[in-house]
Amino acid sequence: MMTETTLADLDEAIFLFTFPPILSSFKIHGEGEGMRVQLEIPESEMGQALKMLQWRGIVLEAKIRPEPDSR
């Protein structure tokens, strides 16, 4: 059964991820330009995460919080 895609579905991506256990998952720029973060996204979450491809080159807002079951 197909479901109808709404504008709200396209305007956000909600998925679970972790930070990889490597030192380079957080890269802080030395010239005050900010930082880069690498995400580890399981295959089960890729449908939502792939939505980010449509937003390349634009500023995004992020709200990140721990998943309740992982504490």
pLDDT band at 32 (very low <50, low <70, confident <90, very high): confident
- Statement: residue 11 has pLDDT above 90: no
- Its domain, for residue 50, covers 12-63
**Residue 18 placed within a domain:** yes
> To the nearest whole percent, how much of the chain has pLDDT over 90?
66
Provide mean pLDDT across the span 19-44. 92
**Residue 23 placed within a domain:** yes
The total number of structural domains in the chain stands at 1
**Residue 2 placed within a domain:** no
Note whether 42 and 16 are within 8 A (CB). yes
**Residue 51 placed within a domain:** yes
Question: Which pTM does this prediction carry?
Answer: 0.73
**pLDDT given for residue 41 in this prediction:** 97
Distance CA 20, CA 39 (A): 7
**Residue 5 placed within a domain:** no
Note whether 37 and 26 are within 8 A (CB). yes
**Residue 1 placed within a domain:** no
pLDDT band at 3 (very low <50, low <70, confident <90, very high): low
